């Protein structure tokens, strides 16, 4: 049988998702639709980022269930294990090995300056300030440092190095990312260049793949869509549930006579993602105040959303947990082959190839 | 054939050495003599700590040569691969895997507060202050932090977590260490307890094994013995070289009539290590100023030192690099078996055992 997974085609794509159990249509439209397209043109490696999932929360009670459900979603939505290698990060030891090697060429400050690290500290500090009587004792950077030292695992400091290892192990040429992940791809490129100049040309320098075509879908309250906010739509919702959820979305127009800005309206995100034929007309009617928001939400939109996931729902009902595990078992074997060959090269370049 | 390596006997010992190419009689007497004794009573795992060797210096040009020479020294001195498992850390992937897992339950501050980390920063800061015009811009902790961020690899921050993984993977009960490593054993115990209480009783809590009988041998200038200081004696030195080196040692007494303190004298370190039958008499004569320092150095001492390494030198000449590699190949297989079983348990406790 022809092995479609290794033909490099236009390049190699590496992408992963953390199994946190919160997939919604935002992930499907921004990530999975892209994954299913890319597997037609690229060699693709898609993985369950379980080491990353336990970086800020060490609770693993649901990790297995979430991982299997998530991969079932991928497969039901069209990720094809004949075209893509689908695997579990923690079951491919080379991710940890290369990460350990790369930790030796990355300075502490480089990691502390990443916006994700600083942002997380500010998030913790914000949480604490609600009940922290001592908040005036330290200020600014010193206060953030104190939180970093006391409450942040060193795994949260080093996870961007693990991400670099994830990418470099597969000689990925293209990494689909959102804007917030751009500094991590830049770090990966820096690390690859530093390794290559220190030990020899082991690694391909990857490119970030920002797709302008991807619609970021906000939740019904206009905030980032998230299951934990309860403002999401799930591909597993029934037609009725989708109808009710869409109907409850906030819109940009307060009164019928207001002229709206569709790009400020989370309902227009849905039209852009699910109503490509109609979006221009919807936007015009919104700007000119010739349509009612109610009609914009309850017209054909809920059906378009439900229809776009009908194949997914049918297939999902047919996929057993056992099938998912079989796919992962094969994917892990494939990923281990690719990465142990890469680690052999890495050891050779590092002159640490003691034994054949 | 009976496998002597796995019989737990009185417990399991784990110990490693960094292949830095600087073994001298200090290491032989403080570490290797202990290793050869322990293998008679304990299950012993002795490893080439090559990931640790490249934590502060990424130059790997001589790492293979140093590793093979070092293990040849171990074997020539009496480490017996039939009794002890001898292996290379970087060729046993579970060390990296468990380290990555443990990084998730150790806070950044815990690692920054370790005396080895602070000591290293002070060492860098001291080096810099010789030519650093801006040294007054920052002071104290802030100055050290700036060095940590700019010049220290994150691998240097996390290496004590890797040490914890080294130890816990083998359910070591006893870890032979010098006093400077005690905080790292304490950290290992803390990490093991935290893992056990978070995920279940996966790990044995190890004990530090401080041997009061071990003599720390200072160099000929009274400083710590080190090849880089040129103040060392090597087991590979000829009788003449040993005689000349011992003769050049500083002593505690300025004049013949001074009463000496043997514990202040690096020559007495040598008597304690190599002249157990005579050390009491030597100490008395020193304290009473009834002996000459010259005689104390040039009497039977050089011969005693040379004699104690004569078997070692004979055996070393007979051991080929190929034999060393064979020993490591077998040791790596054994270490991989033990640790992959342990990682299976770890995954089970972490509920990350997706696949059989």
Residue of B nearest to A106 (CA): B153
Q: Is B328 on the interface with A (CB under 8 A)?
A: yes
Does residue B15 register a pLDDT over 60?
A: yes
Q: Is A21 on the interface with B (CB under 8 A)?
A: no
Residue of A nearest to B54 (CA): A104
Residue of A nearest to B110 (CA): A149
Question: Model confidence at A134, in pLDDT bands (50, 70, 90)?
Answer: low
Domains located in chain A, CATH noted: 12-115+155-215+320-349 (3.40.50.620), 227-312 (1.10.240.10)
How do residues B58-114 score in pLDDT, each as one tens digit?
999 999 999 999 999 999 999 999 999 999 999 999 999 999 999 999 999 999 999
User: Nearest-CA neighbor of B78 among B9, B15, B32?
Assistant: B32
Residue of A nearest to B350 (CA): A60
The mean per-residue pLDDT over the stretch A157-178 comes to: 97
A269, A273, A274, A279 alpha-carbon torsion, rounded to 10°: 70
Q: Please give the share of chain A, as a percent, with pLDDT higher than 70.
A: 94
Residue of A nearest to B157 (CA): A108
B184-191 long-range contacts (CB < 8 A, ≥24 apart) are B184/B114, B184/B116, B184/B160, B187/B106, B187/B110, B187/B114, B187/B160, B188/B160, B188/B163, B188/B164, B190/B110, B191/B102, B191/B105, B191/B106, B191/B161, B191/B164
**Which ipTM did the prediction report?**
0.92
User: Nearest-CA neighbor of A49 among A95, A14, A16?
Assistant: A16
Q: Is B346 on the interface with A (CB under 8 A)?
A: no
Which residue of B96, B107, B145 is in closest CB contact with A97? B96
Residue of A nearest to B146 (CA): A109
Note whether A148 contacts B50, CB cutoff 8 Å.
no
Note whether B51 contacts A100, CB cutoff 8 Å.
yes
Per-residue pLDDT at B122: 85
Which residue of B50, B104, B112 is in closest CB contact with A155? B104
Q: Which residues on chain B are in Cβ contact (under 8 Å) with A354?
A: 64, 67-68, 88, 91, 325, 328
Does residue A14 register a pLDDT over 70?
A: yes
A233-241 long-range contacts (CB < 8 A, ≥24 apart) are A233/A24, A233/A25, A233/A305, A234/A23, A234/A24, A234/A25, A235/A23, A235/A24, A235/A25, A235/A28, A235/A73, A235/A77, A235/A309, A235/A312, A235/A313, A236/A313, A236/A316, A238/A306, A239/A302, A239/A303, A239/A306
Q: Which residues on chain B are in Cβ contact (under 8 Å) with A350?
A: 60, 63
Q: Is B325 on the interface with A (CB under 8 A)?
A: yes
Q: Are A155 and B99 in contact (CB under 8 A)?
A: no
Q: State the best of B51, B104, B321 to mutate against chain A, taking most chain A CBs within 10 Å.
A: B104
- Among positive and negative, which fits the CA dihedral B216, B217, B221, B226? negative
The mean per-residue pLDDT over the stretch B298-303 comes to: 94
Which residue of A150, A325, A328 is in closest CB contact with B109? A150
Tell me chain B's radius of gyration from C-alpha atoms: 23
Residue B254's contacts (CB-CB under 8 Å, 6 or more residues apart) are: none
Does residue B118 register a pLDDT over 70?
A: yes
Note whether B148 contacts A105, CB cutoff 8 Å.
no
How do residues A35-68 score in pLDDT, each as one tens digit?
999 999 999 999 999 999 999 889 999 999 999 9
How far apart are the C-alpha atoms of A109 and B134, rounded to whole Å?
Answer: 19
Q: Is B91 on the interface with A (CB under 8 A)?
A: yes
Using a cut of 0.80, tell me whether the model's pTM lies above it: yes
Per-residue pLDDT at B138: 62
Distances (CA, A) of A145 to A153, A226, B120, B275: 13, 29, 20, 54
How do residues A296-338 score in pLDDT, each as one tens digit?
999 999 999 999 999 999 999 999 999 999 999 999 999 999 9
How would you list the strands of the sheet with A43-48, edge to edge? A84-88, A43-48, A12-17, A174-176, A207-209
Buried b (16+ CB within 10 A) or exposed e, B14-52: bbbbbbbebbbbbbbbbbbbbbbebbeebbbbbbbbbbb
Strands (DSSP E) contained in B128-224 are: 174-176, 207-209
Please give, rounded to a whole number of angstroms, the shortest distance from the CA of B177 to a CA of chain A.
Answer: 24
Which of A98-102, B243-247, B254-258 is predicted with the least confidence, judged by mean pLDDT? B254-258
Q: Is A118 on the interface with B (CB under 8 A)?
A: no
Q: State the best of A101, A102, A108 to mutate against chain B, taking most chain B CBs within 10 Å.
A: A108
């Amino acid at each position: 049988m022809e092995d479609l997974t290794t033909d490099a085609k236009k390049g190699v794509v590496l992408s992963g998702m953390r199994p946190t159990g919160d997939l919604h249509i935002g992930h499907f439209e921004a990530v999975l639709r892209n994954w299913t397209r890319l597997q037609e043109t690229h060699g693709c490696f898609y993985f369950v980022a379980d080491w990353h999932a336990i970086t800020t929360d060490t609770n693993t009670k649901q990790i297995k269930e979430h991982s299997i459900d998530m991969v079932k979603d991928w497969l039901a939505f069209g990720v094809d294990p004949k075209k893509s290698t689908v695997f579990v990060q923690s079951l491919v030891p080379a991710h940890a090995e290369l990460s350990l090697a790369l930790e030796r060429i990355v300075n502490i400050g480089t990691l502390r300056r990443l916006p994700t690290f600083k942002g997380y500290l500010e998030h913790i500090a914000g949480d604490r300030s609600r009940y922290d009587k001592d908040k005036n004792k330290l200020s600014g950077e010193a206060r953030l440092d104190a939180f970093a030292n006391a409450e942040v695992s060193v795994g949260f400091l080093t996870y961007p190095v693990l991400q670099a290892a994830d990418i470099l192990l597969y000689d990925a040429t293209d990494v689909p990312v959102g804007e917030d992940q751009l500094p991590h791809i830049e770090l990966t490129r820096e690390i690859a260049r530093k390794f290559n100049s220190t030990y020899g040309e082991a690694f391909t320098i990857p490119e970030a793949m920002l797709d302008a075509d991807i619609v970021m879908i906000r939740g019904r309250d206009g905030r980032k869509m998230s299951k934990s906010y309860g403002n999401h739509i799930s591909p597993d919702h029934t037609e009725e549930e989708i109808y009710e959820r869409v109907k409850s979305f906030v819109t940009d127009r307060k009164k019928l006579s207001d002229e709206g800005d569709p790009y400020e309206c989370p309902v227009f995100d849905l039209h852009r993602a699910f109503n490509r034929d109609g979006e221009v007309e919807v936007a015009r009617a919104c700007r000119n105040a010739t349509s009612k928001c109610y009609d914009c939400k309850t017209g054909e939109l809920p059906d378009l959303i439900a229809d776009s996931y009908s194949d997914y729902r049918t297939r999902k009902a047919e996929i057993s947990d056992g099938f998912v595990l079989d796919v992962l078992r094969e994917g892990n074997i494939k990923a281990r082959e690719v990465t142990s060959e890469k680690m052999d090269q890495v050891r050779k370049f590092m002159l640490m190839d003691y034994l054949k």
